[in-house]
């Protein structure tokens, strides 16, 4: 009985110490995570912002003029589209101003889709718009993608022995019934999230929830590993849009694996 009473203070001390460590780590993790967006913005300013010598020559008041900024946005978007048109490859353009996502080739729109929802990281609308617009003057390249559907449907076919055994290919597209959600991660660290707008079945909502949850788990695990070695977690500016299921699928399968994207906001 006396031994049990002696162990109680030890257990209490252990619980207090453990709780304190967990609380301190959570505070530390939260603080480091809050620093990541500002770190990303500083990286964008450093790479794309005007240099000190350029700032001295320019009249800073002009960057506050809305009409001038509008012209700069259009110029950056056109520069990006021209660069992609020269590749003779299909590419994607996202116009947040008129809520459209397009597939283009050589400057011609071959598929147009209307967004029903959009959400954008605040730093893409940051005060230093000159740096952001300079970044947008070049197309983004897709480094990798994650999706709930296959990029290219696979068909296994047995070759017929002769013409009498030949049968035409009849293969239903299973993605017609599958939820369409995907992430396009670009070379600038910006992520494009595309979700189907329909919620025809309960499975559609569940699929989107699981897809987002897995993405958050990956990001949290990556952030934990960096915080553990006293590094600020990487921040990925994002653009989240919703498109009709058919349009979302066409765009995903139409863009090359390492295709390019231009953005206008």
How far is it, in rounded angstroms, from Cα 95 to Cα 98? 6
Burial class (CB in 10 A: 0-12, 13-18, 19+), 215: middle
For residue 35, what pLDDT is reported? 86
Is residue 49 within 8 Å of residue 134, measured between CB atoms? Answer: yes
For residue 40, what pLDDT is reported? 86
For residue 250, what pLDDT is reported? 94
How far is it, in rounded angstroms, from Cα 131 to Cα 43? 10
Domain containing residue 147 = 2-264
How far is it, in rounded angstroms, from Cα 244 to Cα 195? 8
How far is it, in rounded angstroms, from Cα 110 to Cα 101? 11
pTM over 0.85: no
Please, where are the H alpha helices in 49-128?
A: 52-57, 66-85
For residue 70, what pLDDT is reported? 82
**Ordered per-residue pLDDT tens for the chain, 265 residues:** 455 555 667 777 777 877 888 888 788 778 888 888 888 888 888 888 766 555 555 555 565 667 777 888 899 999 999 999 998 899 999 999 999 999 999 989 999 999 999 999 988 876 567 788 888 999 999 999 999 998 876 555 555 555 555 555 555 555 457 899 999 999 999 999 999 998 877 788 889 999 999 999 999 899 988 888 888 999 999 999 999 999 999 999 999 989 999 999 8
With tokens 């990925």, the residue in question is 236
How far is it, in rounded angstroms, from Cα 5 to Cα 92? 70
CATH number of the domain to which 223 belongs: 2.40.440.10
For residue 168, what pLDDT is reported? 53
How many domains, in total, are found in the chain?
1
**Using one digit for the tens of pLDDT, what is the confidence trace for 89-147?**
999 999 999 999 999 999 899 999 999 999 999 888 765 677 888 889 999 999 999 99
How far is it, in rounded angstroms, from Cα 173 to Cα 153? 8
For residue 37, what pLDDT is reported? 86
**Using one digit for the tens of pLDDT, what is the confidence trace for 45-63?**
888 876 655 555 555 556 5
Please report, to the nearest 10 degrees, the dihedral formed by the alpha carbons of residues 100, 106, 108, 114 taken in order: -10
């Amino acid at each position: 009985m006396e031994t049990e009473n002696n162990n109680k203070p030890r257990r209490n001390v252990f619980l207090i110490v453990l709780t304190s460590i967990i609380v301190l780590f959570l505070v530390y993790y939260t603080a480091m995570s809050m620093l990541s967006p500002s770190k990303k913005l500083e990286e964008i300013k450093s790479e794309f912002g005007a240099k000190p010598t350029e700032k001295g020559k320019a009249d800073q008041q002009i960057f506050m003029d809305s009409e001038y900024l509008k012209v700069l946005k259009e110029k950056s978007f056109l520069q990006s589209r021209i660069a992609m048109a020269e590749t003779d490859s299909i590419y994607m353009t996202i116009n947040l101003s008129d809520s459209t996502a397009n597939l283009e080739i050589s400057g011609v729109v071959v598929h147009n889709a209307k967004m029903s929802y959009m959400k954008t990281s605040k730093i893409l609308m940051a005060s230093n718009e000159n740096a952001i617009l300079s970044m947008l003057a070049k197309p983004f390249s897709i480094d990798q993608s994650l999706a709930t559907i296959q990029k290219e449907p696979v068909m296994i076919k047995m070759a017929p022995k002769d013409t009498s055994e030949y049968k035409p290919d009849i293969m239903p597209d299973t993605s017609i019934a599958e939820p369409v959600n995907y992430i396009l991660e670009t070379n600038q660290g910006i992520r494009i999230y595309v979700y189907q707008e329909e919620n025809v079945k309960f499975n559609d909502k569940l699929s989107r929830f699981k897809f987002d949850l897995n993405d958050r788990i990956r990001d949290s695990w990556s952030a934990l590993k960096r915080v553990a070695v006293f590094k600020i977690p990487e921040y990925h500016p994002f653009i989240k849009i919703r498109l009709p299921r058919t349009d979302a699928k066409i765009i995903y399968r139409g863009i090359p694996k390492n295709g390019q994207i231009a953005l206008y906001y």
